[in-house]
Every structure is written in C-alpha cells, then in structure tokens.
Amino acid sequence: MLSRPHLIYINWSSYDELSDVVQLTESLAMQQFEAVSRLRRSGVPIDAYLMDCFWHARGGGYREWRQPHWPNGPEAWLSACQAEGILPGLWFGTNNLRVAQMDPTPAWLNSVTGDGATCSMFEGGFWPDFLNALRGWYDRGVRVFKFDFADFSAATPVGKRTLLPHEIFLANRTACLGGLRAFKEACPEAILLAYNGFEEASLQSNTFEPIRKVVDGRLLDVFDGLYCGDPRPADVPAATFWRAKDVYSDHQVWNYLQNQVPASRIDSSAFMIGLTGTCYFRGKARWKGMLLLELVRAGWTNTLYGNLDLLDDADAAWMARATRSLLPLQQTGSLKYHGTARPGDGLPYAWELSHATGGVMALVNPSQDPAVIPGPAGRVLFAECPSLPSVTSQGWPVAPEQVLLVGWGDFDSLEYELGADTDWPTVTDRTVLASNVIDDSTLTLEIPIPAGPAHSIRVIVQQFDSAGNPCRTTGGAPPNGTLLGDLLQVTINDAHNNAVIPTREDHKQIWSGLSWGVVEFDATGAGSWQVTVKATDPRVRRISASAAAITYAPQS
C-alpha cells in the first residue's frame, strides 16, 4: 500500500460524456497536462495524472485508444508524464460493458451476460484477458489504476441457471479480488483505486439514511483508496450550493469511518472544478474551502478533478502552500471527528487532524444560524469571512454555511496562514419570520415583513416522500435536463400589490437530484408577502418552507 499521501489529478469534469456532451480528446487531455505542469512548477506536489473514462476504443479490450480522438494513441501523453516525473494512470470500467461503452472482444464472448451489458468475472476468458491488459499498461509505465462500475451480479446464462444470486456475487467478488491481488503482487508499484460498484451504493445517494455496513473489509487488502461517492449536494439546504457538496463528502467520509475504513484509505473524491455538468458548471467557485476539507479529511489518495487550467498563478501559489502544509500532517497525524450529530444532519461539526505537537481543525457550520464550535485556542489559518474571528471560552464563532481552519501547537505559525476567502457574502444575523409544513405537494406561506430598512429575505423549502425522507428530484443531466426551479417551483407575491417579486436563485440541472431549494428576495417597507411552493415530483408527499430576514456583513 501507499507509503505516503499522494496528489492524483484525474481529468474527468474537464470533460463529461455522461452528464454532458464534452468529449475526451488528446487536445483536451494535453491542455490539462500543461495545467498540471504549471501547478507543479509553482510547488503543488502532484504525483499522478489519471486519464478517466472513454480513452479506450470500443472493441479494443482496453488495449487500444479511441479514434479519431487520439490519432497517435497515448504516446505524447505517456512521454510527457515520463519527462515530468508524473505517474500515468488509467480508468477501467471493470466488467461493465454498457456504461464503459465497450464491445466484447473475441476473448470475452464466453463471459458476456444474457443482456450483453456486463461480463462475468468467474466464467470464460474475460477476466484473465482483462488482467493481461492491466499488466500490459503497467509494463508501459502506467502506475495508477481506477476501477469503476463493477457489477458482481454478472453471470452468463449458464451461470444464471445453475447458481443462486448470492453464489454469483461471491464468485465474482472472489475472482475480482483474487485477480487484482495477484496483479498487485506482480506489479508492486501499482496504485489501485476502487470506485462505483465496490460498495453498497444506495447510501451514497443521500445523507439521511441510518448508518449500516456498506464496505467489505477485504477490499482493503487490494485497494489503496476506496472512493465514498461522487460529489453531490447533501440533503441539507444551503444558499451556497457548493457548501452542500462539502457536507455530502464530509458525511460520506464519516460513514466510511464508521465502517472501520482507515482515514488514510478513504478517497473523498471531493475536489472537482470544471465547466461541465458533472460538477454543475462550478468553475472554480469556493474551491479553497473545498480543497482544505479534502486535505484535512486525511485520505492518502487526494484526488483533484477537472479544469486545473482555471487556476491562475495566485491560485497555484495558494494551492502549493496548502498542500505542502497539510500533506505531511496527513502522514504523521490522526483524524478525529467532533460533533453531536452526523455531518448530514445539518448541525455544526469539526474535523481535527493532529499529531503529538499540534495540528489543525476544520470547523464547519452547515446550519442557517451563526454558531460557536468548540475548538483549541490557536491561530486562524483560513476563513471565509472578511474579518477573522477570535476564539472565546466556548469556542470559535463560525458564520452560517462557512468553514474556518485553525491551527495550534506547531501549526500556530505565520508560515501556515492561508488568508481569507472574502468573495462570498457572510450572514451575521437571521430572524425567522414564518414557517410551515404541509402534507401535500403545494404549500402557501404568508411572510409578515417588519417596518424599517430594506430586508433580504431567504426562503428555504424542502420536499419529502411518503416515508418522511428527503425526496431528491432530478430533471436529468445537461444539456437537455430540466432546471430545478421548474421542478420545485417557488413564487413570491406582494400580497398588497398582487405583484410577483423577482428572486435571486441559482437554478441548475441536477443530475444527482436535490431535495431542497433556496431563494432570496428584497423586501422594502412593512407588508405581507406570500410564498407559493409547488413540487412537480409525484413522489412528494410533504413540503416544508421557512422564511427569514438575514443580515449580511459588509463586503470588503
């Protein structure tokens, strides 16, 4: 297994052929290689560059590159990696033909399932041939191998007739892990990453389900990193959509820790910037807090996804400072979670990464109210607010939906300071004006607005299914997906003038679904406003809504 933490760049999200239409080409891949090289020259210690899915030709058995996207194959990329001292990596769809968009080779035909979607790993020639392909890439210098979309229910028609489902699952699992274990013994420098299909996936789709066993401990004998879910919004409403994604990743790491997976082996896959649908067209919005949380979670396979070319020289210098500060602490320190509830429950919490002589703590307030989170006295290393807070006897004040990083002991030092991200508004006060819950798919809420200066009003709505659980709605992926605002409709009316009030909201096409919405509007003078919420998802049986007057800190 890994002897130290790694930074692994993965180019998915700079393209996206599943929830968008941007294709992987040699030109795109090499553009990102130049970005990786620039970051390394700035001091960011990126160890590897992994080529994600759809690099391969449909019928090439993971030995040939897709044409015309790669007219000369991978030669330029492999040579560039070698020249820069970067470990090359490749994505593999494991035994899933349909998602990987693969056609079976002659050697695979006697392993194909009846529907042609997957291959059995314990029958026929597929799995031995697949392992040979891996060995071929290892011999050419590839060192990082990402396995995705594994299907352990796969069996040929003969297997389906003669084996019970649990026998099929066990036979596939045994063949898979046995083969990869032998591959790694023969190729000791190989770094293996487990993605979709190796876990019990339903728990990764939300943040409300009770904790249960989802990880087979035998995976730890084979894989260097176990991913815990594609970054998506948690079932915790947030006016800053990106903070909801951080809470999701925090929740899934917490979940894997409860499954006795060591922190060093958990790949949160949380850092994802880019211009495609898979990252909800994030660009590089609020990327600093996202990176710090990934580093503090202490996984040794620190993956960086997407458009690294969006980061300018100042960003590169900041990233170099952050990674060179926290990667050594990942190796020497231990991770602790502090909180009265799970991250997905929406209450304040903190991650502590520390060793004997000091450490850092990332304090997260996912709630809508200012909070004081217990933590050590020390130095503020990073904040998402214009003025840095000071510790009190109760702890550190953290504004709604914000992150604070503090250091103590040997990290209570100027050399570890990372400044403040002041590009985002800070809520300093919140007064609830009205709330309501109704067992229906349509809700009306009357908001009394007090007299005085103009108010910013934030309305938060949530939708639930018949079991009372958050109900995620999706209208599909870009470019043809339906915007969330058309699926969970929120309208504000001035009751006095019977006029629709314009709102501030950021509607997105949410491939992973969303169970909530947040809108804001400005109200001038006393009056009464009416909020109407309509859920279009037929599964919705309950809606809640609350409205509050909020005060923002002055922007610097």
Is residue 501 within 8 A of residue 529, CB to CB? The reply is: yes
pLDDT at 205: 85
Q: Tell me what the mean pLDDT of segment 523-550 comes to.
A: 91
Whether residue 479 has a cis bond before it, omega within 30° of 0: yes
> Can you tell me the distance from the alpha carbon of 525 to that of 504, in angstroms, rounded to the nearest whole number?
19
pLDDT at 244: 96
Is residue 83 within 8 A of residue 47, CB to CB? The reply is: no
pLDDT at 554: 81
Provide the mean pLDDT of the chain. Answer: 94
pLDDT at 484: 87
- CATH class of the 6-332 domain in this structure: alpha beta
Burial (CB count within 10 angstroms: exposed 0-12, middle 13-18, buried 19+), residue 390: exposed
Phi, psi (5° rounding) for residue 203? Answer: -70, -20
Q: Tokens 């041939």 appear where?
A: 129
Phi, psi (5° rounding) for residue 39? Answer: -65, -40
Q: Tell me what the mean pLDDT of segment 117-145 comes to.
A: 98
Q: Tell me what the mean pLDDT of segment 13-42 comes to.
A: 97
CATH 2.60.120.380 residue ranges for the chain? 427-552
Predicted confidence (pLDDT) per residue in 356-395, tens digit: 999 999 999 999 999 999 999 999 999 998 888 899 999 9
pLDDT at 388: 86
pLDDT at 196: 95
Kindly calculate the radius of gyration of the chain based on its CA atoms and give it in whole angstroms.
25
Q: Tell me what the mean pLDDT of segment 516-520 comes to.
A: 94
Closest CA to 551 of 485, 405, 452, 403: 452
Share of residues in the chain with pLDDT > 90 (%)? 84
Q: Tell me what the mean pLDDT of segment 28-47 comes to.
A: 98
CA dihedral sign of residues 52, 472, 169, 123: negative
Q: Tell me what the mean pLDDT of segment 326-337 comes to.
A: 98
Position 247 pLDDT exceeds 90: yes
Six-digit token string for 532? 């109407």
pTM of this structure:
0.96
pLDDT at 201: 65
pLDDT at 6: 98
Specify the range with the lowest mean pLDDT, choosing from 98-112, 120-134, 503-517: 503-517
> Can you tell me the distance from the alpha carbon of 235 to that of 206, in angstroms, rounded to the nearest whole number?
7
CATH of 338-416, one of 3.30.70.1380, 2.60.40.1180, 2.120.10.30, 3.40.50.510: 2.60.40.1180
pLDDT at 270: 97
Helix (H, G, I), strand (E, B) or coil at 77: helix
> Can you tell me the distance from the alpha carbon of 148 to that of 161, in angstroms, rounded to the nearest whole number?
27
Element (H, E) at 160: helix 157-162
Predicted confidence (pLDDT) per residue in 439-490, tens digit: 999 999 999 887 777 789 999 999 999 999 999 999 888 888 888 889 999 9
> Can you tell me the distance from the alpha carbon of 95 to that of 119, in angstroms, rounded to the nearest whole number?
5
Torsion of CA 341, 344, 348, 353, to 10 degrees: 90
Closest CA to 464 of 189, 265, 246, 208: 208
pLDDT at 449: 81
pLDDT at 104: 98
Q: Tell me what the mean pLDDT of segment 508-517 comes to.
A: 92
Six-digit token string for 428? 């300093």
Specify the range with the lowest mean pLDDT, choosing from 176-190, 269-283, 339-353, 424-438: 424-438
Q: What b/e string do you get for 32-59 counting C-beta neighbours within 10 Å, with b at 16 or more?
A: bbebbbbbbebebebbbbbbbbbbbbee
> Can you tell me the distance from the alpha carbon of 350 to that of 97, in angstroms, rounded to the nearest whole number?
41
pLDDT at 274: 97
pLDDT at 150: 97
CB neighbour list of residue 507: distance below 8 Å, 6 or more residues apart: 483, 484, 485, 486
CATH 2.60.40.1180 residue ranges for the chain? 338-416
CATH of 427-552, one of 3.50.50.60, 3.40.50.300, 2.60.120.380, 1.10.150.240: 2.60.120.380
Cβ atoms within 10 Å of 87's Cβ, excluding its own: 19
CA atoms within 13 A on the CB side of 315: 18
Q: Tell me what the mean pLDDT of segment 213-221 comes to.
A: 92
Position 110 pLDDT exceeds 90: yes
Higher pLDDT, 199 or 132: 132
Predicted confidence (pLDDT) per residue in 290-327, tens digit: 999 999 999 999 999 999 999 999 999 999 999 999 99
Q: Tell me what the mean pLDDT of segment 279-288 comes to.
A: 96
Beta strands 402-409 and 379-383: pairing type? antiparallel
Band of pLDDT at residue 202, cut at 50, 70 and 90? low
Is residue 284 within 8 A of residue 310, CB to CB? The reply is: yes
pLDDT at 556: 60
Higher pLDDT, 48 or 498: 48
Q: Tell me what the mean pLDDT of segment 230-243 comes to.
A: 95
Six-digit token string for 136? 């071929």
